[in-house]
A and B are shown apart, each in its own frame.
Chain A
């Protein structure tokens, strides 16, 4: 059965704790970085939490928005890659093929959400962090582009398990690292093609919008927030 993976993030629940960011780093073998590198734009946070401030102290309102690859159905990053290092797989994921990337940077320039990250040098981990690597995920080399994959390794593992046990995948069985670690349970992941799944019902909710929807990218991450 083909799935169409999507995510719903409830902004009214998000506290901005950034547990999702840390979990993503741990799950996907992301290198750590320091403040100088952050100032130079050399970090790689496949999911980041954007903060939007409204008003003056002490009446400040903050909106926390976790931004990750939106896995757009009309992804602008895909047609511009000259070597097919990024393309749309049948399950609706925008996959990045590290081995194929030659580093033209065009995909990153064309992403309106700026969610693509580049390996400026060969990644390094201070000891003993390299012992913590996830064996299911590749360690990328310098010179290739990378981004959030919706934890495709977890999707694959769950599908394999279900196929072995000869049963269909249950809703909520696949949880990317960020979804799993959110203490406020603000993130939901599932199959958008299944009308009964939690993510489909949330996507149809009146509070659901998508980021930069007017560009026609058809992103598959739904942000729920109470209208002001």
Chain B
């Protein structure tokens, strides 16, 4: 049965120590979550979360920019009205719109990827308990099997947790 071990820590250093101790036992980052009221920066290697957000942003931008330029090309040729001796489609005249639509694509892609990567819309771990965090402290939550809970709590206490509790799924 899955249980969650939640440890409360006063500062970043002790939380990082706890994570290191736990990960020495081959626990993957996917089972660990750190909760806080303000963003936390661990040193590299402690709990890395690789991200593809930049790539998504660039791809979204390029694709939307190309799409909108193609649309304008189609629209201008579909209804060929001559205005002021200008060419029917010129990249210079359309350049601004291409740029803006590239940016819009990148912006929307960034936001959408954020919603996905943060798990806000996926609602991952919906039944996992969310600890109440005091301002200034961090809570480390580890998902593990029932029999692993003991050594996990132990590791957290050794690292300097001010409180450790065990919770089932809610």
Chain A residues packing against B (C-beta within 8 Å): 72-79, 81, 84, 86-88, 218
Chain A contact surface mostly: loop
Report Cα–Cα, A72/B84, bound state, in Å.
8
Let me know if B83 is at the binding interface, CB within 8 A. Answer: yes
Interface contact A74-B85, CB-CB below 8 Å:
yes
Complex interface: chain A residues within 8 A of B82 (CB): 78, 87-88
Beta-carbon nearest neighbor of A86 in chain B: B83
Interface contact A79-B86, CB-CB below 8 Å:
yes
CB-based A-B contact count at 8 angstroms: 30
Interface centre among B81, B82, B84, B85 (most CB of A within 10 A): B84
Per-residue CB contact flags for chain B residues 86-122 toward chain A (1 = under 8 Å, else 0) read 1000000100000000000000000000000000000
Interface contact A73-B81, CB-CB below 8 Å:
no
Complex interface: chain B residues within 8 A of A86 (CB): 83
Chain B residues packing against A (C-beta within 8 Å): 79, 81-86, 93
Interface contact B83-A73, CB-CB below 8 Å:
no
Report Cα–Cα, A81/B86, bound state, in Å.
13
Interface contact A81-B83, CB-CB below 8 Å:
yes
Interface contact B81-A87, CB-CB below 8 Å:
yes
Complex interface: chain A residues within 8 A of B79 (CB): 84
Nearest chain B CB to A72 CB, angstrom units: 8
Q: List 7 A-B contacts (CB under 8 A).
A: A75-B85, A76-B84, A78-B84, A87-B81, A88-B81, A88-B85, A218-B85
Report Cα–Cα, A81/B79, bound state, in Å.
15
Report Cα–Cα, A81/B84, bound state, in Å.
11
Interface contact A77-B81, CB-CB below 8 Å:
no
Beta-carbon nearest neighbor of B93 in chain A: A79
Report Cα–Cα, A74/B86, bound state, in Å.
8
Report Cα–Cα, A76/B84, bound state, in Å.
6
Complex interface: chain B residues within 8 A of A218 (CB): 85
Complex interface: chain B residues within 8 A of A81 (CB): 83
Interface contact B86-A84, CB-CB below 8 Å:
no
Complex interface: chain B residues within 8 A of A74 (CB): 84-85
Report Cα–Cα, A86/B84, bound state, in Å.
10
Report Cα–Cα, A77/B85, bound state, in Å.
11
Report Cα–Cα, A79/B90, bound state, in Å.
12
Nearest chain B CB to A86 CB, angstrom units: 8
Nearest chain B CB to A116 CB, angstrom units: 14
Report Cα–Cα, A145/B85, bound state, in Å.
21
Interface centre among B79, B83, B86 (most CB of A within 10 A): B83
Interface contact A79-B84, CB-CB below 8 Å:
yes
